[in-house]
Amino acid sequence: MVFRRLLSPAAALMALLLVGCGAGTAARSGGGAASRPGAAAADASAGTSAVSAAASVQTTGGAGGKTAKVGASFSLTGADGPHGQAQRDAVLMAQDEINRSGMLAGWKLEIDAQDDAGDRTQAAGVFQKFFKDGAVAILGPTLSSSAFASDAEAVKAKVPVLGVSTTADGITAVGEYVFRDSLAEFQVAPNTIKVAKQKLNLKKAALAYASDDAFSKSGYDVFKKALADNGIEVTDTETFSVKDADFSTQLSKIKSAAPDAIVVSTVTSVGAGVVAQARKLGIPDAVRIIGGSGFNSPQVARLAGPAANGLVVGAAWIPSSPNPLSQKFVSDFKSRYNRDPDQFAAQAYAGMYILADAMKRANLSSDPSADREAIRVALNQTKNLPTVLGDFSFTPERDANHPPVVQQLQDGKFVLFS
């Protein structure tokens, strides 16, 4: 296409990201459930219908003509609603920018955002809807536990999937149509433990994780190995459920073991409870809590309050990144939604651009089967693409390839720790 001959992929993406981001009709206004702790449940009754209406809006000013449908399966309600809502908002913002820029010359991008509610069965059902509707690719789902079910369906249907928050081990091993731009726990956790040992002089640590959640168990396995590899003694290992609200029994045992740090792998809402109760039980601030990817959200600080100060978390992205594309994304997202983006939003936003870049190179044909295969091939060829996450490539296993960072919570905000 003419557009591709005039600009390199890197230059084209840099140019379109400089396009201003207005509050398009597909956006929800600021002050939604993602910015209010506990509001996800209240949002449940309006969730799917409101999202479908927003996602179906045609953005004016794009390069007219044919429509390329992309499904987006996110946890818009339930415990992980704040994450899914941030992802949806970021993807819709990217959709509007891409359509205004004319990046997909002759094509209009149309996102169908649906609620999977963090449920495996519902996520698989949402994917089936996307297949039937002719989506050429899918973003999501939010949770790794859902992805193991839904991604298997996508592989059978030969529809490319780009996970934007799935970090459990084995996600991309589901099949050759599964990709992710989210760094896996095995890419982040070892670096987190290494940096924490160096800066905190750790010699012994306790482990705790949600044993009934695939994402949490995967993180625990990686943390356990990382602690051993760094010569850090494990004083105690405790388990709990993602449905639990009282962790006093486990934390009392951990306190008695007198570790230098507590390493926890679980989802955000549960992790915040663990942090708050640890300090309430008298575990001193000097005993740092080191969290997995589930802790990488401002929601932890909002739910746990001052108890979250000093929390150490590995990450794929940090809001204070000097990357110009990241700085513009933070500014535009805050302007549009009246709240700061988190890593879930950043990875979803990057994912939409990574997918759009592949769609541009795939030479879309209006044949969904042919287009799906062409997009899969193009995703595999993605290399050093400028994104808010940094220059992005896929590994041969279709995992994300960019360097992780280590951060800590300080007065409710994440700052660089490493």
Confidence of residue 53 (pLDDT cuts 50, 70, 90): very low
Distances (CA, A) of 82 to 345, 349, 391: 10, 15, 27
Cα–Cα distance, 385 to 223 (Å, whole number): 30
Asked if the structure places residue 409 within a domain, the reply is: no
Asked if the structure places residue 133 within a domain, the reply is: yes
Asked if the structure places residue 78 within a domain, the reply is: yes
Query: Tens digit of pLDDT for each residue in 23-38?
Result: 333 333 333 333 333 3
105 and 241 fall within a common domain? no
175 and 37 fall within a common domain? yes
Asked if the structure places residue 93 within a domain, the reply is: yes
**pLDDT at residue 50 tops 50:** no
230 and 291 fall within a common domain? yes
pLDDT at 316: 92
> In the chain, what percentage of residues exceed pLDDT 70?
84
- When pLDDT is averaged across residues 210-226 and rounded to a whole number, the result is 94
Asked if the structure places residue 333 within a domain, the reply is: yes
285 and 350 fall within a common domain? no
pLDDT at 154: 98
- pLDDT, averaged across the chain: 87
Looking at 315, 334, 350, the residue that finishes a domain is 315
Cα–Cα distance, 205 to 191 (Å, whole number): 16
308 and 327 fall within a common domain? no
* Strand ranges inside 316-404, DSSP E: 385-387, 390-394, 400-401
Cα–Cα distance, 152 to 164 (Å, whole number): 16
45 and 143 fall within a common domain? yes
pTM of structure: 0.76
Residues 6+ apart with CB under 8 A from 119: 78, 146
- When pLDDT is averaged across residues 130-152 and rounded to a whole number, the result is 97
Confidence of residue 226 (pLDDT cuts 50, 70, 90): very high
**pLDDT at residue 408 tops 80:** yes
Q: Which domain holds residue 220?
A: 186-315
Looking at 298, 315, 332, the residue that finishes a domain is 315
**pLDDT at residue 21 tops 70:** no
Query: Tens digit of pLDDT for each residue in 172-200?
Result: 999 999 999 999 989 999 999 999 999 99
Query: Tens digit of pLDDT for each residue in 385-399?
Result: 999 999 999 999 999
pLDDT at 418: 62
Query: Tens digit of pLDDT for each residue in 326-347?
Result: 999 999 999 999 999 999 999 9
Asked if the structure places residue 260 within a domain, the reply is: yes
Is the Cβ–Cβ distance between 386 and 367 less than 8 Å?
Answer: no
**pLDDT at residue 216 tops 50:** yes
Edge-first strand listing for the sheet containing 233-240? 233-240, 204-210, 261-265, 288-291, 312-315, 405-410, 413-416
Q: DSSP secondary-structure letter at 266?
A: -
**pLDDT at residue 6 tops 60:** no
**pLDDT at residue 90 tops 80:** yes
Confidence of residue 311 (pLDDT cuts 50, 70, 90): very high
281 and 299 fall within a common domain? yes
CA dihedral 127, 221, 416, 337 (to 10 degrees): 20
Q: Which residue has 């433990």 as its token pair?
A: 193
**pLDDT at residue 13 tops 80:** no
> In the chain, what percentage of residues exceed pLDDT 90?
76
Domain total in the chain:
2
Asked if the structure places residue 413 within a domain, the reply is: no
106 and 68 fall within a common domain? yes
pLDDT at 102: 96
pLDDT at 16: 44
7 and 129 fall within a common domain? yes
pLDDT at 237: 98
Is the Cβ–Cβ distance between 352 and 90 less than 8 Å?
Answer: yes
∠ at Cα 394 (391, 399), nearest 5°?
120
pLDDT at 41: 34
Confidence of residue 298 (pLDDT cuts 50, 70, 90): confident
Asked if the structure places residue 416 within a domain, the reply is: no
302 residue type, one letter: R
* Token duo for residue 406: 């280590």
**pLDDT at residue 166 tops 70:** yes
- When pLDDT is averaged across residues 302-311 and rounded to a whole number, the result is 96
Buried b / exposed e across 304-342, counting CB within 10 Å, b at 16+? beebbbbbbbbbbbbbebebebbebbbebbeebbebebb
Looking at 315, 349, 369, the residue that finishes a domain is 315
Closest CA to 263 of 223, 306, 314: 223
14 and 155 fall within a common domain? yes
17 and 157 fall within a common domain? yes
334 and 381 fall within a common domain? yes
The larger pLDDT score, comparing residue 143 to residue 215, is at: 143
**pLDDT at residue 61 tops 80:** no
pLDDT at 403: 86
- When pLDDT is averaged across residues 213-232 and rounded to a whole number, the result is 94
CATH number of the domain residue 269 falls in: 3.40.50.2300
Is the Cβ–Cβ distance between 90 and 333 less than 8 Å?
Answer: yes
